[in-house]
Amino acid sequence: MSIEEGYRPLEPGVRTDFSGTLDYAGYLDLDTLLSAQHPLSDPPHPDELLFVIQHQTTELWLKLMVHELVGARGFLDADDLARARKSLARVKHILRTITEQWSVLATLTPSEYAEFRDVLGPASGFQSVQYRAVEFLLGNKNPQMLKVFAGDPAAHEFLEDALTGHTVYDAFLRLVARRGLPVPAAVLERDVSKPWVEQPGLVEVFRQVYEDTSRYWDLYETSEDLVDLEDAFQLWRFRHLRTVQRTIGYKTGTGGSSGVSFLRRALDLTFFPELITVRTEIGMP
């Protein structure tokens, strides 16, 4: 056979016999992955598969985000700033990917979604344990969210660990303190299960970093990494809001939230407020 007959022949070294050995589908467990989509509409609505896959793939990316954020925290604890920055960079790219992914779901029109929305019942992305873990790892702690997972002991334990553990920002600030900068003791000794609130005493610390970049170059670069990460996260939140708004308008969310209004309030949340506030101070006498 040749290319003239309508196809390109396999190269001589390409393996075709995988009897009794690991192949691509086996390594990725594709039988499990590709059989995990179970639309509930009856008869199956042609657009429900899109809705399911959109959220399943987001959950896979969230799993990797949790993995990378936990890794970044550990590298910061070990004073390995270079590897921490690598993990943070990967999280930023994940956020860009799932932000663009909203454009696929946005092809679902209001009338199409209305034809199967009722099969979701009370199910909602609000109940994503992995999303909540990401928020906790970045500092938006909320112990009330544990109630949502009271009926799932494994999820509850997973999220409780994230709630009581220190954040990526905590780990970075501890490293900054180990470098000799005057991070306030109240920051270093804080109850890490509480949500982060802006600490005015940190602004002067970051002012020193930003105004003496030659001395604190790696701290300066990591600070900018965190700002990049927050920007990427906020863009993802915003695209979520806009996709929901164009699909259901101002209806109540399936999980009981106020929908668009609830998502809009989330845009006011910030993970690293001092890294924004310091910009007002830089260059001031």
Structural domain for 248, as ranges: 46-116+123-281
- The answer on whether 220 is annotated among ligand-binding residues is no
Determine the Cα–Cα distance for residues 256 and 93; give it in Å rounded to an integer. Answer: 31
Q: Is 51 annotated as a binding residue?
A: yes
Contact 192, 167 (CB under 8 A): yes
How many CA atoms are closer than 13 Å to the CA of 64, on its beta-carbon side? 16
Is there a domain that residue 273 lies in? yes
Q: Is 259 a member of any domain? A: yes
Average pLDDT over residues 33-44: 96
Domain count for the chain:
1
Q: Is 113 annotated as a binding residue?
A: yes
> What are 256-261's contacts with CB under 8 Å, separation 24+?
256/122, 256/124, 257/124, 257/126
Inside any domain, residue 27: no
User: Could you tell me if residue 20 is inside a domain?
Assistant: no
**Positive or negative CA dihedral for 258, 147, 38, 130?**
positive
User: For 98-115, how does the pLDDT look when each residue is reduced to its tens digit (9 = 90+)?
Assistant: 999 999 999 999 999 999
pLDDT at residue 1, as a whole number: 45
User: Any idea what the CATH number is for the domain that residue 195 is in?
Assistant: 1.20.58.480
What's the average model confidence in pLDDT over 70-97? Answer: 98
Q: Quick check: is 4 in a domain? A: no
Residue 35 is assigned to a structural domain of this protein: no
Query: Does 54 carry a binding-site annotation?
Result: yes
Within a domain: residue 56? yes
203 labelled ligand-binding: no
User: How far apart, in whole angstroms, are the C-alpha atoms of residue 222 and residue 180?
Assistant: 16
In a domain, 270, yes or no: yes
Q: Does the pTM of the predicted model rise above 0.85?
A: yes
The rounded distance, in Å, linking the Cα atoms of 219 and 173 is 10
